[in-house]
Amino acid sequence: MNHLVGDFILFASLFGILLSLLLLCYINKHSSKSNIYLAIFFFLNSVYGLSAYILAHSGSAMLLAPLYGTIAPLLFLLGPAGFFYVRSVLRDDPRLSKWDMLHFVPFLVQLVNALPYIFTPYAYKVQNVTQLANDIGLIPYVKTGWFITPMVNYLLRPGHIFIYAVGQSIVLYKWMRKDEVLMKLKEVVIQWLYLFTVVCLILFGGFFTVTVWTYTMEDKYAAIHLGRPLMKISFVPFILLNGLIFLFPKILYGLPGRRASTH
């Protein structure tokens, strides 16, 4: 059963990376600009899923070493990417304002925090991830940052992503209450945005809940080992999210954002 779950996670992760590349390939001059955000979202989400698969199922230090700790700052772009995507489709405008630059501050802080570890020797990284492969309970204790402690980072990443999933849901809810928006958007767009947002909320909400649960338990080693089955359950919406393309294949070349004028 564990191998079956791992195979699904691996396939979904690789498919998500391929999907992000396809989204970029189909971007044209007008209707698909929002897909830039969606491509970034799928790529980062899938790379994280791939690293989680390697850690939990493969245990290969050689494969995990280039990812663990080094991609951590990029995960602070995952939430904003999903948020910008939904907002840009609803607005029919993918441009960012000067105030939107504030969304990138957590990423920059985390990048500065991770830079010393990113440039550490490869052998040192292999040593770190080998310890994790042997005992996954060390995750909150392996230092990969300069001034932010591992335990704080352990909570920050899922917390940051979940906050953006909630923000994405609020934006969608507010815009969907506007009759003029519902009249302009095509039904397939509304269905896609609803489903995409709901699955994101379930996925990242579950991820954050499991992380907080393990953090609040006194015995962190036991908590993480007990939380592994829950984490595997949380990968169900991850697999579903990357498989939504089969229900909405039009997202590859840009959803039809607006209904044709009836005048």
pLDDT band per the 50, 70, 90 thresholds, residue 231: low
Position 1 confidence tier, pLDDT thresholds 50, 70, 90? very low
| Residues 237 and 199: beta-carbon distance below 8 Å | yes
Q: How confident is the model at residue 22 (pLDDT cuts 50, 70, 90)?
A: confident
Q: pLDDT value at position 228?
A: 63
pLDDT confidence tier of residue 227, bands split at 50, 70 and 90: low
Query: Does residue 261 surpass a pLDDT of 50?
Result: no
What is the b/e burial string over 233-242, where b = at least 16 CB atoms within 10 angstroms of the residue's CB?
Answer: ebbbbbbebb
Q: What is the DSSP string of 158-227?
A: HHHHHHHHHHHHHHHHHHHT-HHHHHHS-HHHHHHHHHHHHHHHHHHHHHHHHHHHHHHSS-HHHHHHHH
What's the per-residue H, E or C state across 5-22?
HHHHHHHHHHHHHHHHHH
Cα separation, 197 vs 203, whole angstroms:
10
Max mean pLDDT among 126-130, 148-152, 195-199 falls in: 195-199
Which of the given ranges, 2-6, 92-96, 175-179, 183-187, has the highest pLDDT on average? 92-96
**Count of Cβ atoms closer than 10 Å to residue 74 Cβ:** 17
Task: Please count the other Cβ atoms lying within 10 Å of the Cβ belonging to residue 11.
Answer: 14
128 with 68: CB under 8 angstroms? yes
Lookup: tokens for 184: 């302009």
Measured distance CA(147)–CA(126) in Å, rounded: 22
Q: What would the pLDDT profile of 32-59 be if each residue is shown by its tens digit?
A: 688 999 999 999 999 988 888 887 776 6
Please check the confidence at residue 204 and state whether its pLDDT lies above 50: yes
